[in-house]
Amino acid sequence: MQSKGFRQNLIIAVLAAGLVIASLWTYIGIRSDTAVTPGKEATLNITPDYKITSRKDVRIWPAGTVFEQGMAAYFYAAEPEVNDATRIQISGLDQGNMNGTIKSQVIIQAVDDKSQVYWSYLLQDIPEQKFTLTKGISGKADQNSFVSQGILIDAAAVYDLTTQIGTEINFQAGILQLVVNSVVNMSGTANGMPVEKSVNQSLPLTLQQVSFSLPKSTDIATIVPLTQMDNSKPSNKTFTDIIRSNLLQFSVTIWFGALLFLVIILTYQPKSNTAIEQRRFREWITEGSVEVDNRLNINILTLEGLVDLAIDLDKRVIHDRGKGKYYVFSEDIAYICDSKSD
């Protein structure tokens, strides 16, 4: 009995400790949702992360050579291929969830020295791609960057096409360019602040007669602020929003509280008269399992009466826990006290 009581108390202590920890966890979650915190600066970085690879063996550049960025010229003789993949990354994001899209077009055009366009031709229209950038959101893996699907460009073939267009319209002036124009749209929250951004990013290739050139990715990367350091405001979340964002904490706390309440109710229910008497007369009681067989059954209303009878008969009281009854046997008679009758 003492061992059982110890186990019960241990279970209650463990559940109570769990309830305290879960309550503290919930409190911390609620406080973080409702606290006034300064907005940390987060920036959106959009970089045309291109790579140029030769496809034809020439004496100085074997096929498969990957050229470094920012060279003075990339010669058509090596049949270079440009693979442009736009990298989108958020810096300074502590917590937030941003949904984004990127839509790109590849255009060839002739411009003057002030970037005024003489003519343009849509070469590729890339389908819109969707992505999500997130950090510090429960149930979501952190994702700080996204790289779009690569756009392959055969620079030599593009130059041939531009000269053909110029010949057709009898216009050979201007600077010939291939431009990858990308529009990036972002919406969501960053460091507790709502964000709506639309950003244009361009990668220009300048086409010459025997070669082309383009700047380094880092020189034309677009960096725009999403939040500012001095923006501070209290949380405007409703109670429902707070519960939703801390659903796991609330669920665990309620679970521990309900389980603790149930264990206490089951453990500390009032003892029956028979159970109280059993403690008084435990020296006359033996635990065991019995079979009544064909004996004559005589019901004794109280355990005290059964113990008195056992003393008179010089017998012991046998307690069968499985049946919840107490027995005294004398020849063909079974004297029985039912503990459940209390």
Name which residue leads in pLDDT, 317 or 340. 317
Rounded mean pLDDT, 31-53: 78
- What Å distances lie between residue 218 and 52, 63, 65, 212, 310, CA to CA? 15, 26, 21, 19, 98
Same domain flag for 13 and 113:
no
Mean pLDDT over the full length of the chain: 85
The residues with which 196 forms a beta bridge, in sequence order, are 187
Please classify residue 165 by burial: count the beta carbons closer than 10 Å to its beta carbon, then call 0-12 exposed, 13-18 middle and 19+ buried. middle
pLDDT of residue 57: 96
Same domain flag for 91 and 167:
yes
Same domain flag for 130 and 181:
yes
Same domain flag for 128 and 80:
yes
Same domain flag for 217 and 79:
yes
Please name the residues in contact with 222: beta carbons below 8 A apart, sequence gap of 6 or more: 44, 45, 46, 47, 199, 200, 201
Same domain flag for 315 and 264:
no
Same domain flag for 260 and 168:
no
pLDDT of residue 230: 47
Same domain flag for 99 and 160:
yes
**Residue after which a domain boundary falls, among 269, 292, 316:** 269
**Residue after which a domain boundary falls, among 231, 260, 294:** 231
What's the token pair of residue 176? 């010939």
pLDDT of residue 14: 79
Q: 275 pLDDT exceeds 90?
A: no
Helix axes of 2-34 and 247-267: crossing angle, nearest 10 degrees:
160
Identify the domain containing residue 254 by its residue range.
1-36+234-269
CB 303 within 8 A of CB 281: yes
CA separation for the pair 195, 43 (Å, rounded): 11
Alpha-carbon torsion, ordered 145, 148, 150, 151, to 10 deg: -140
Same domain flag for 177 and 106:
yes
Please name the residues in contact with 147: beta carbons below 8 A apart, sequence gap of 6 or more: 49, 85, 86, 87, 88
Same domain flag for 324 and 305:
yes
The pTM for the full model equals 0.55
pLDDT of residue 294: 82
Same domain flag for 95 and 226:
yes
Q: Which of 248, 249, 244, 326 is nearest to 285 (CA)?
A: 326
Same domain flag for 192 and 122:
yes
CB 83 within 8 A of CB 54: no
- pLDDT tens for residues 104-145? 999 999 999 888 999 999 999 999 999 999 998 888 899 999
The number of distinct structural domains making up the chain is 3
- pLDDT tens for residues 148-187? 999 999 999 999 999 999 999 999 888 999 999 999 999 9
pLDDT of residue 1: 46
Query: Hey, what amino acid is at 338?
Result: D
